[in-house]
């Protein structure tokens, strides 16, 4: 497995692969890797000749200074996991390498970013758009792999690919969970043992809400019951719960066809902000 910290080193390696007509799969990550990331890497390695994983804690997508400072960084362990997962190349640039100058360009994704994560984290999706488009230009992948866990990010990236005519396929993988249902996340490492025991309630409330809707309760009533359930667990400070269409991310009055609706939540638990969603 090759490890690059410079754009020029990465480009040199990739140009050799293009000469040999190799297909490239890219998995953008911020490191502190877990099985959710590795499922994407394994898929990229299986579906392409060359799997490239980027590890970069992207400052432009953080609106909270403490979240950026405390974001877990575990490069050596990540490299070992990537080796085992069959990754061929890792791109782990410094902030200076990624941003030799502060970008002037600003992305505005309209209605898909004025809600949920976009509303709670101003500038977040601009930062995502900037870094993902830079990575797409640097790597020129045939396929790029993203997790459904970040449902709104998937919508934003798909929109960007369409609007800017990136010639690549976006591949989305389901959320990988711990045995107790908690969605795997790099930020879970920052939970105390007591908080870690409370965290699975997020998934339990998501599944209960889905079940209520599937049993015929209205979306409005199911959402109300979810709000009640969150308020019964004082450690989980709810930022939002929205029941939306997976494509437009707009609120829905009633569920659509199977697989086109999602319940999305964000909560603060101790020092950590956690997001999750359930498609139904």
Known catalytic residues are 37
Residue 51 lies near ligand AMP (rule: CB under 6 A): no
Phi, then psi, of 258 in degrees rounded to 5: -50, 135
Stretch of residues binding ligand AMP (CB under 6 A), selected from 130-138, 162-170, 181-189, 227-235 = 181-189
Least CB distance from residue 41 to ligand AMP, whole Å?
9
Q: Which is nearer to ligand AMP, 62 or 146 (CB)?
A: 146
3-class DSSP state of 238? strand
In the sheet that 24-29 helps form, which strands lie side by side, from edge to edge?
A: 2-4, 89-91, 50-55, 24-29, 143-147, 169-173
Q: Which is nearer to ligand AMP, 28 or 255 (CB)?
A: 28
DSSP H/E element including 198? helix 193-198
Residue 91 lies near ligand AMP (rule: CB under 6 A): no
Instruction: Report which of 164, 166, 147 is spatially closest to residue 155, judged by C-alpha positions.
Output: 147
Which two tokens mark 125?
């999706």
- β-strand 236-245 against 272-279: which pairing, if any? unpaired
Whole-angstrom Cα distance, residue 159 to residue 249? 12
Q: Angle at the Cα of 78 (from 75 to 82), degrees rounded to 5?
A: 140
Residues 20-49 interacting with ligand AMP (rule: CB under 6 A): 29-30, 36-37, 40
Least CB distance from residue 252 to ligand AMP, whole Å?
22
Residue 168 lies near ligand AMP (rule: CB under 6 A): no
Instruction: Please select the residue that binds ligand AMP; options are 22, 68, 159, 173, rule is CB under 6 A.
Output: 173
Stretch of residues binding ligand AMP (CB under 6 A), selected from 179-187, 192-200, 233-241, 248-256 = 179-187
Least CB distance from residue 19 to ligand AMP, whole Å?
29
Residue 93 lies near ligand AMP (rule: CB under 6 A): no
User: How many residues at the interface with ligand AMP, by CB under 6 A?
Assistant: 16
Q: Which is nearer to ligand AMP, 51 or 222 (CB)?
A: 51
Instruction: Using the CB atoms, write b or e for 31-40: b if 16+ within 10 Å.
Output: bbbbebbbbb
How long is the chain? 280
Residue 184 lies near ligand AMP (rule: CB under 6 A): yes
Q: What are the C-alpha distances in Å from 230 to residues 82, 227, 234? A: 37, 5, 7
Stretch of residues binding ligand AMP (CB under 6 A), selected from 66-74, 106-114, 118-126, 180-188 = 180-188
Site string for ligand AMP, 111-150 (x = CB under 6 A): -----------------------------------xx-xx
Q: Which is nearer to ligand AMP, 56 or 280 (CB)?
A: 56
Which two tokens mark 191?
């939970």
- β-strand 261-269 against 272-279: which pairing, if any? antiparallel
Whole-angstrom Cα distance, residue 277 to residue 149? 6
Give the footprint of ligand AMP on this chain (CB under 6 A).
Answer: 29-30, 36-37, 40, 146-147, 149-150, 173, 175-176, 183-186
């Amino acid at each position: 497995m090759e490890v690059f910290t410079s754009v020029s080193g990465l480009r040199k390696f990739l140009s050799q692969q293009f000469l040999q007509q190799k297909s490239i799969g890219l998995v953008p990550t911020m490191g502190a890797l877990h099985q959710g990331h590795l499922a994407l890497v394994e898929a990229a390695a299986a579906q392409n000749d060359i799997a490239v994983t980027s590890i970069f804690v992207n400052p432009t997508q953080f609106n909270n200074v403490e979240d950026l400072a405390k974001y877990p960084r575990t490069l050596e362990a990540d490299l070992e996991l990537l080796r085992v997962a069959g990754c061929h190349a890792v791109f782990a640039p410094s902030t200076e390498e990624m941003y030799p100058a502060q970008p002037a360009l600003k992305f505005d994704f309209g209605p898909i970013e004025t809600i949920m994560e976009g509303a709670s984290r101003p500038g977040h999706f601009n930062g995502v758009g900037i870094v993902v488009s830079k990575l797409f230009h640097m790597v020129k992948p045939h396929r790029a792999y993203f997790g459904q866990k970040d449902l709104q990010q998937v919508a934003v990236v798909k929109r960007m690919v369409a609007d800017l005519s990136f010639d690549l396929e976006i591949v989305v993988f389901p959320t990988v969970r711990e045995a107790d249902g908690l969605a795997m996340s790099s930020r879970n490492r920052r939970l105390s043992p007591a908080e870690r025991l409370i965290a699975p309630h997020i998934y339990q409330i998501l599944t209960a809400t889905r079940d209520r809707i599937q049993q015929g309760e209205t979306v409005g009533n199911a959402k109300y019951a979810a709000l009640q359930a969150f308020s019964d667990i004082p450690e989980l400070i709810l930022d939002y719960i929205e029941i939306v269409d997976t494509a437009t991310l707009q609120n829905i009055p009633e569920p659509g066809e199977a697989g086109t609706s999602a319940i999305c939540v964000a909560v603060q638990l101790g020092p950590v902000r956690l997001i999750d969603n359930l498609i139904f």
